[in-house]
Amino acid sequence: MKTQHTAYSILDLALVSEGHSLKQTYNNALELAQNAETFGYTRYWLAEHHNAPNIGSSATSVLIGYVASGTNTIRVGSGGIMLPNHSPLIVAEQFGTLGSLYPNRIDLGLGRAPGTDRETAQAIRSDFMQAAQSFPNELDKIQNYFSVDNAKSKVRATVAEGVDVPLYILGSSTDSAHLAAKKGLPYAFASHFATTHLSNAIDIYRKEFQPSEHLEKPYVMAGVNIVIADTDEEAQRLSTSLIRMILGIFTGKRDFVHPPTAMTDEYKEILEHPQIHQMLKYSFIGSKASVKAQVKDFIEQTQADELIAVTNIYDGKERIRSYELFAEIMKELNE
């Protein structure tokens, strides 16, 4: 039985709702982070995605700076920066700068996926596949650029040297579990959409973990979809926006986040589709009491050190309310 404190955080994609401008979307993201700070969340992360009309977090480091500038204590970072899209030197310079501007508040989560389609990945970086295969070496470069020992090198990220920006390895399969364990870094698994390998990946990470100067023992973060409202029925209604978004991913028809509608038999049938059902396995939707029971069970199964919640709700105020209720759940479970 897990007895230790379980931290709780937010993963955001700055989702663009139908009828909302990008400016409004970014203002909503900041408002969410400000509220999350008062609710006791540990961190607010933004995910890098490209060529998707419903996702506003493309220029991830810029948006991280915007959110950090409008908050005071909550950690702000990337969940993650897709490293094969970028030069490690530039990433180190960007996050070293952020780390100096907002000391002890910036996280750098790194993944190896493109966060987009094949054509866009090629447009971002023509040698993407080679860079993805070199992910461990690219990670080493990032660590070197942040090290004070790199001051003697010919190529330096001078604004990053000695700056405290913790690194996190992101994964949606077992590959990154081996790497995170070998490097002695915290591991964040994308179980909010990649549910199949969660248990296996966590087991690999914990069994193979090698203590490092960064981390003495394994630290597991697990992603979960959360939609909470005052009643089960209202939460189900709000979740129809998520269902339409997931359906758009499978059909290749990505669109803005649509307003919620009634939970119809058609939506229920979509949820029963094997692929969608599997993808949403760790989606906890309902009233506070209903979701609390599901979250408690998830924590007991995974022994996760931290849950990072994704809440895809059309309306900003209702999204904040859902995160407020989730914070209440976590505080009660931690008592």
Cis peptide before 171 (omega within 30 of 0): no
Report the pLDDT value the prediction gives residue 251, as an integer from 0 to 100: 84
Report the pLDDT value the prediction gives residue 1, as an integer from 0 to 100: 44
Q: What is the DSSP letter of 150?
A: G
CATH number of 7-334: 3.20.20.30
Q: What angle do CA 82, 88, 91 make, to 5 degrees?
A: 70
Report the pLDDT value the prediction gives residue 115, as an integer from 0 to 100: 83
CA neighbor of 13 nearest in space, from 290, 289, 256, 232: 256
Task: Give yes or no for a contact between 187 and 169, defined as CB atoms under 8 angstroms apart.
Answer: yes
Q: Using a CB cutoff of 8 Å and minimum separation of 24, what contacts does 212-218 make?
A: 212/183, 212/184, 212/185, 213/184, 214/166, 214/167, 214/184, 214/185, 215/184, 215/185, 215/186, 218/181, 218/187, 218/305
Residues in a beta bridge with 222? 189, 307
From CA 167, how far away is CA 79, in angstroms rounded? 11
Q: What is the DSSP letter of 263?
A: -
Residues lower than pLDDT 70 in the chain: 1-3
pTM of this prediction?
0.96
